[in-house]
Structure 1
């Protein structure tokens, strides 16, 4: 039987890139499922029972470590993380398999060789509850994570948008619109992460929710004009659009 795998990452483009590179590094491996968040990863694991799970550490709902706890030792695990020296120290001290974003072919090949050997020899998964607990503590996964940038697919490329460059975020049906500055010019991108999940990770000193569907960077505001029925309108620096402030959030601008 061919080995099987599950890929869990909240960014679709990164899932596709990892799947393509796995196909080159381990042609026999069959990716049977892709998950966009932690809860879906658990559901798809129970459905497909893959031999290997590639888990993004920071995902909406459940973190990759929390998913690993539910998977137990039923699969070999590879954690995928954005570069962070403290995160890497946590993995190295715990002797856990990990990949750093963006995933390089050299590092992936090394990981694949270890996975091949374990799978062929039917070696049990090396992680333990103690290791996972230590990893969660070192990465502080039980605390809200503050974003430094947002990953967004723009055409066929992946754009890394610094938080400081974002003017506002707005819910748009199944997506979130990210309005940002690209070398000083107004630009937009759509991401799948819900606005409510992003809000919990944004610096509260600089970002505020002004409407149930809008979060604004306070540093991007030019002026706020009071309207009728206890509402207001935000004018942004260098942008033509106006953002409405709902009655329940008008207190943020009580000094005007």
Structure 2
């Protein structure tokens, strides 16, 4: 009886990388039949369930459902190879031999090594390992890699000069249509303000969430600079900042930040 050819699925949201990996695999492993090219994680799962490939090459970072999420659902259903730009953060998981990886852009010499290992596993009829613990480690490492460093300075044009405002000196930020008002203390401790052409939403994701919290759709405050909170009607409130006269609104959706105050 003629042996069944190994089959593969490639999942990557970048078309050029999908086609490039398919071409390299056809050169490196001619016996491998590439049965599916998936554009995202959801499509990869659908095609896996339909075609049951023996090997899956999964891009880790795909929109919607990541390669790690796809791998969790595939489980022991196939041998897995991750395609990633962050190999140094996955060494612990990959070093145990249960997972393999390729670094973008894929190098053919590295691909040859990967193909040899996968062929050995398939030839020995090894069941794909239980990798949930390794996926947890990999995901945690990648999250640490991709999490941006909190913003430390904000640049603001004041007259003919550009001021570097230390983030820890900021009292609050308030949106003003296309601009954001930055309220801070200068070197002498005096209150100061400036407008920048960056939206509040863009700034919020760059600020340290342990200190800066949104209290209204148009206001973010530095919790270290809050003096007191005054409760209002209909589950609203106002916030007073240390050394300032402004009363900043707290909407119902954000009142939970002050439950313990």
TM (norm. structure 1) is: 0.55
**1:103 corresponds to:** 106
SS of 2:179's partner is: helix
1:250 aligns with 2:177: yes
Residues 112-155 of structure 1 show CA distances to partners (whole Å, capped at 9, x for unaligned) of 11111221222111342222222222222xx89469xxxxxxxx
Q: 1:73 and 1:249 mapped to 2: Cα distance?
A: 53
Cα RMSD, aligned residues only: 3.0
Tell which has more relative contact order, 1 or 2 (C-alpha 8 A, sep 6+): 1
8 Å contact kept, 2:79–2:128 = yes
Pairs aligned (count):
162
8 Å contact kept, 2:98–2:131 = no
1:78 aligns with 2:81: yes
1:39 aligns with 2:42: yes
Q: Give unmatched runs, 5+ long, in structure 1.
A: 148-202, 206-217, 223-247
**1:182 corresponds to:** none
Q: What is the CA-CA distance between 1:99 and the residue it aligns to?
A: 0.9
Q: Give unmatched runs, 5+ long, in structure 2.
A: 158-174, 182-194, 197-261
1:5 aligns with 2:8: yes
Equivalence map 1:43-62=2 (5 Å)? 43-62=46-65
1:132 aligns with 2:135: yes
**2:165 corresponds to:** none
Q: 1:70 and 1:2 mapped to 2: Cα distance?
A: 24
8 Å contact kept, 1:90–1:139 = no
Q: 2:123 and 2:97 mapped to 1: Cα distance?
A: 23
8 Å contact kept, 1:90–1:138 = no
Equivalence map 1:128-207=2 (5 Å)? 128-140=131-143, 145=146
**2:25 corresponds to:** 22
Which protein shows a greater Rg? 2
